[in-house]
């Protein structure tokens, strides 16, 4: 089992920045990839960014150039650095980890971008 705990969400003005963190615990060996998804009210959950072993990253088009995903293996933590936030980034952000074919999810953290 893998347990994921997100933190770092909150309310931010348009153009602002936030950093989300996701700490993994439990069976953390062989987790690959780790990533972030988000779900806005009335919308399906969508992929935001993934980080694969070796450092390969992938981003949805709407966040390219604004968001950066990184991973600290020593802390079993993945981060999402979000810059130049827009109101359309408002959503619940979920951490995801895949381990040997099994998918694990955190409970989510709310990000609200509003003036």
Instruction: Report pLDDT for 32.
Output: 87
Reduced to 3 states (helix: H, G, I; strand: E, B; else coil), residue 72 is strand
DSSP state for residue 29 in the 8-state scheme = T
pLDDT in tens, 38-52: 999 999 999 999 999
Lowest mean pLDDT among 10-14, 19-23, 50-54, 59-63: 50-54
Rounded mean pLDDT, 85-90:
98
Contact assessment for residue 111 and residue 52, using Cβ atoms and an 8 Å cutoff: no
Instruction: Report pLDDT for 94.
Output: 98
Whether residue 90 is predicted with pLDDT greater than 90 in this model: the reply is: yes
- Alpha carbon 115 to its chain centroid, in Å, reads 23
Pick the residue with more confidence: 112 or 32? 112
What CA–CA distances, in Å, run from 18 to 59, 62, 79, 84, 89? Answer: 17, 17, 10, 9, 11
Instruction: Report pLDDT for 81.
Output: 98
Closest among 21, 6, 19 to 72, alpha carbons compared: 21
Instruction: Report pLDDT for 29.
Output: 79
């Amino acid at each position: 089992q893998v347990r994921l705990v997100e933190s770092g969400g909150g309310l931010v003005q348009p153009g602002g920045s936030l950093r989300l963190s996701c700490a993994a615990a439990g069976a953390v060996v062989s987790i690959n990839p780790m990533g972030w998804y988000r779900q806005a009210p009335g919308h399906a959950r969508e992929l935001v960014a993934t980080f694969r072993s070796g450092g390969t990253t992938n981003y949805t088009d709407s966040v390219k150039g604004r968001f950066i995903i990184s991973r600290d293996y020593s802390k079993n933590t993945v981060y999402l650095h979000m810059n130049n936030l827009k109101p359309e980034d408002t959503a619940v952000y979920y951490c995801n980890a895949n381990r040997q074919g099994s998918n694990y999810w955190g409970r989510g953290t709310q990000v609200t971008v509003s003036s």
